[in-house]
Structure 1
Amino acid sequence: MAISSYLRVLVAAVLAQSVMAHMALLYPMARGSIGDRKQYDGQPHAWIGYTKERTLPCNGYNKPGPVTLLKAGQIVKTRFWGPALSNKYNNRLPTKPSASGKQLNQARHGGGFCQYSLSYDGGKTFHLIGEYKRSCPDFYYEWPVKIPDNVPSCTKRGKCLFVWSWIATNMPQFYINCADVVIFGAKNGKWNSKAGIEIVDVPNHPQNVVKPGDKAGDKMGKGPDPADVKKNLSYKWN
């Protein structure tokens, strides 16, 4: 995409903020995100079904994007993006506001239920590796998940994905982002595709599903629950 065309897309995305401003995976860098110049269209934070282009498994971004290198046992400190964040926050968290300070508009809808998974077949199947309840997502925090110690390697471009999905609270919307990765796994790691993720509010799946939130609305929540963090850092590849 030419630079001028990319800038036009960025401007269009900014103008659309008041109509459609939600959350997207910032790290690892996802397909269609602000770091994916070939596919960015201003909608990485849209829910499945927002337009006919927003489809499973990767929110309609079907071509490989930026690649993140991961390894077995690595703790991945995931972060989130929203249109209110400027590019200066691509590599760091925004400063947490004081109790009475001005906050950036996240449109996080009071949180909900986030799941993290790996796919080795381009999104046909998912293997759960972590989840956060109630306060996720929130771009004022890092959300750690662990690549299991016994995960198998995955190096085939376009097939190896780190996936974040979100079931919102207050409204029946399902969000999903896919980050292309290369995984350096355990020597004897084996793929098991039986463990999946919860997919709702899209065709052929349960409808009108919402999850409990943190009642913080679009403002900063309390961040990751320590119990969820502990569980996410101890997942095994079963």
Structure 2
Amino acid sequence: MLRKSILLIAVLQLAALIAHAHVDLTKPCARYSSAPGCPPPPAGQSIDYNTNAPISSGGINTQPLCKHSVPYEKRTVYKAGESISTEYGIGSAHGGGHCQWALSYDHEKTWVVIQTEIRTCLQGAVTGQIVKIPVTIPPDAPSGDATFMWLWVNSIGIRELYSNCADIRVEGRDGGSINGFEPLLANYNATYGIIPEFPNPTDPDGHELFDARKPITITVKGSGTGAASTPDPSSSSKPNKNVASGRRDHLQSSMLFISTAIMLSLVSLCL
């Protein structure tokens, strides 16, 4: 009887883990998000029920940065200088960590970071909570279709990198440039290195890696539509290797299938 009770508790804990995994961007809507109020995916695409899953685990990347390469047909419009009240659905906040927000005007080829929060991002968040974080579009941001990206390096747990992308349109100047830094893709692959866990205030947290991010200038041609961007030749780094593939990740689905099979097996033992 005791053994069955222990197994049943394990089943319930596993079910809770499956149902409340990790964190995702819910406002603006991440691509193909299942969050209430988000638009349906573009033609030929499917709702992503795993937008809260990491794009890398243990330093092995399993998905491209935006997870999906086909943008939404309808974009959320923001004005240059506007503060976006971004929102995040919390499954497990892993002690908080480092967040970066970035813009791309050239279909995710080049990125410029517009805001960074070191160590305290999502800190103290609890399961089921919706966390709001204001993110400001630069006042000098040019007009054009853009991709808005959120990146998160978790503080506690398996070394992971999380990312979601939202399709927006910026209303600002007709052409111009944004100066900033390239995103740090820590924990993504061997190129960028691993930031170890940092649950305690005195633990090394890799903040110096953010200080060493390479400068970049994103230049957008003044056309009103069809904006394009180029990195500053004098300051840009190597091409971003993390956007090249359009391959979909099946790892999360496989893990969910395996976890579900284990759960059903445990249930049968309890009966």
TM-score, structure 1 as length reference: 0.63
Which of 63, 78, 84 matches 1:76? Answer: 84
Q: 1:29 to 1:176 in 2, by over 3 A?
A: same
Q: Which residue of 1 aligns with 2:185?
A: 199
Q: 1:213 to 1:182 in 2, by over 3 A?
A: farther
Residue by residue, what CA displacement relative to the aligned partner does 1:188-227 show, whole Å, maximum 9, x if unpaired? 53255x6211102223433331464589xxxxxxxxxxxx
Kindly provide the amino acid, as one letter, of the partner of residue 55 in structure 1: Q
Q: Is the 8 A contact 1:115 1:130 kept in 2?
A: yes
Q: 1:17 to 1:186 in 2, by over 3 A?
A: farther
Q: Which runs of 4+ in 1 moved over 6 A?
A: none
Task: Give the match's secondary structure for 2:69.
Answer: coil
Q: Is the 8 A contact 1:26 1:80 kept in 2?
A: yes
Q: Is the 8 A contact 1:76 1:147 kept in 2?
A: yes
Q: 1:190 to 1:172 in 2, by over 3 A?
A: same
2:40 equivalent to 1:37: yes
Which of 97, 100, 110 matches 1:115? Answer: 100
Larger strand proportion of the pair = 2
Q: How far apart are residue 149 of structure 1 and its match?
A: 0.7
5+ residue gaps, structure 1, are: 1-14, 83-105, 216-236
Q: Is the 8 A contact 1:112 1:213 kept in 2?
A: no
Which of 162, 166, 169 matches 2:148? Answer: 162
Q: How far apart are residue 167 of structure 1 and its match?
A: 0.6
* Aligned ranges 1:75-94 → 2 under 5 Å: 75-82=83-90
Which of 136, 148, 172 matches 2:138? Answer: 148
Question: Structure 1 vs Structure 2: percent identity of aligned residues?
Answer: 29
Residue by residue, what CA displacement relative to the aligned partner does 1:17-66 show, whole Å, maximum 9, x if unpaired? 6237000011111113112533323110111146x9941220x2111125
Kindly provide the amino acid, as one letter, of the partner of residue 138 in structure 2: P
Q: How far apart are residue 169 of structure 1 and its match?
A: 0.9
Q: How far apart are residue 78 of structure 1 and its match?
A: 0.8
2:23 equivalent to 1:23: yes
Q: How far apart are residue 135 of structure 1 and its match?
A: 3.0
Task: Give the match's secondary structure for 2:188.
Answer: coil
Task: Give the match's secondary structure for 1:128.
Answer: strand
Residue by residue, what CA displacement relative to the aligned partner does 1:92-111 show, whole Å, maximum 9, x if unpaired? xxxxxxxxxxxxxx301010
Task: Give the match's secondary structure for 1:198.
Answer: coil
Kindly provide the amino acid, as one letter, of the partner of residue 167 in structure 2: D
Q: Is the 8 A contact 1:30 1:36 kept in 2?
A: no
Q: Is the 8 A contact 2:56 2:162 kept in 1?
A: no
Q: Is the 8 A contact 1:111 1:214 kept in 2?
A: no
Q: Which has the larger radius of gyration?
A: 2
Q: Is the 8 A contact 2:78 2:171 kept in 1?
A: yes
What is the total number of aligned residue pairs between the two structures?
174
Q: Is the 8 A contact 2:31 2:165 kept in 1?
A: yes
